[in-house]
Amino acid sequence: MAQTRVRQQVRRSVAAILLALSSALVAASSDERQDLQGAQGDEAARRVAALGLLVDSTNGQRAQDGLHVLGTTPGSAADHLGLRPGDVIVAVNGESLRSLGSDDRGHALASATLKTVVASLPDDVPLELHVARAGTEVTLSAPLQAVYLPDLHGEPGMGASGTTVDGTAQGAASDGCGRISMFDVAPRGDRLYAVKILLLDGSTPGPHGTQSFRVRAGEHHLLVSENIPTGAMGIGTMASLRRNTNKALTVTVKPGTTLLIAAQLHLANTGDLVHGGYWDPVVWKEIAEACP
């Protein structure tokens, strides 16, 4: 039993680190550094406080009444707080997020304000969100545990060799960066369902469990598999017979944007299980989101 508990604690710790690295909304300050104790010796550490939250920060008008929640990472701080798609975050720790306008790039200042508050929040101070939900306001509160990551002399989204997930060398000339996301927050009413990105520019993206990938701005080539529920296809258990219907998708990522990828179900073609005519991978939404 004791060994089981230890293994569970290790898994939770690893999951927390992965969430800190891969969340769509990450508040991090490279200026907040301290020495890691114990095994890390004198290596510097970077404090990362992650919500695991995807919000609509397209522009100030879209965030006039607060930040609209599009989705959360399972097991993240936002998930534990109880945030749901459709919620509107109107204040964080007493600081209003309403009517803040846009920054010089047109993005909602409410998003930057939320990141700043989260990044500056001490470990022992609870995060408190005031949320508008179905016509009423609720308060969600919980401690936000920061993670201290060793300074590997890279940047968020960089691999161990100092490259981005798309292979651009660290420090190489670039026109900016963005993200490609498979967060499953697409509207089912539009027959949009979850996908898995198998390959990104010919390589397997990671780490495992990551939902959003930081890439350089420009054209990228994806290999995508669908995760459409059998019941949604309307042809009974026959839908479970589909095999190897992965599809290619070429996307163009603009600087400072996140592309949301989904599987578009074609009900008229659900009988075409062999050639995959029943679905296509699509970019169903593009969101303005700062990419440091």
Q: Which CATH number is 120's domain given?
A: 2.30.42.10
| Cβ contacts of 27-32, under 8 Å, gap ≥ 24 | 27/51, 27/114, 27/115, 27/116, 27/118, 27/119, 28/119, 28/156, 29/119, 29/120, 32/119
Q: Report, as an integer, the average pLDDT of 15-31.
A: 40
* Token pair recorded at residue 271: 């009988």
- Please tell me whether residues 163 and 274 are part of one structural domain: yes
Give per-residue pLDDT as tens, 108-163: 889 888 888 887 777 777 899 999 999 999 999 988 766 655 543 333 333 333 33
- pLDDT of amino acid 191: 92
- Residue 103: what residue type? D
Instruction: Name the one residue in this structure whose structure tokens are 């992650």.
Output: 50
Domain count, the chain: 2
Domain finish residue from 149, 177, 210: 149
Range of 49-63, 112-126, 185-199 with top mean pLDDT: 185-199
Q: What is the reported pLDDT for 237?
A: 59
d(CA 153, CA 242) in angstroms, rounded, equals 45
Nearest alpha carbon to residue 259 among 194, 181, 170 = 181
Cα–Cα distance for residue pair 286/253, rounded to 1 Å: 9
pLDDT of residue 155: 39
Q: What is the pLDDT of residue 222?
A: 93
- Does the pLDDT value for residue 92 go beyond 90? yes
β-partners of residue 285 are: 260
Q: What's the pTM?
A: 0.50
Is 6 within a domain?
Answer: no
- Asked if the model's pLDDT at residue 30 lies above 60, the reply is no
Average pLDDT score over residue span 2-9: 54
Average per-residue pLDDT for the chain: 75
Amino acid at residue number 102: S
Q: Which residue, among 153, 173, 154, 150, has the nearest Cα to 163 in the 3D structure?
A: 154
Asked whether 112 and 290 are in contact (CB, 8 A), the reply is yes
Q: Are 45 and 169 within one domain?
A: no
Last residue within a domain, chosen from 131, 149, 167? 149
pLDDT at 280 over 90: yes
Q: Is residue 3 part of a domain?
A: no
In this structure, the answer to whether residues 69 and 181 fall within a common structural domain is no
Which range among 6-10, 31-35, 133-137, 282-286 shows the weakest confidence by mean pLDDT?
31-35
Whether residue 33 is contained in a domain is answered as: yes
Residue 16 has pLDDT above 70, yes or no: no
* Chain mean position to CA 26: 9
C-alpha 239/C-alpha 224 separation (Å) is 18
- Domain C-terminal end among 95, 114, 149: 149
The residue range of the domain holding 210 is: 157-288
94 class by beta-carbon count within 10 Å (0-12 exposed, 13-18 middle, 19+ buried): exposed
Question: Which range among 183-187, 261-265, 268-272 has the greatest average pLDDT?
Answer: 261-265
* Token code pair at residue 258: 């996140």
Q: Residue 47 — very low, low, confident or very high, per pLDDT cuts 50/70/90?
A: low
DSSP 158: B
High-pLDDT (> 90) share of the chain, %: 32
SS3 content of the chain, % helix, strand, coil (to 5): 20, 40, 40
**Domain membership flag for residue 54:** yes
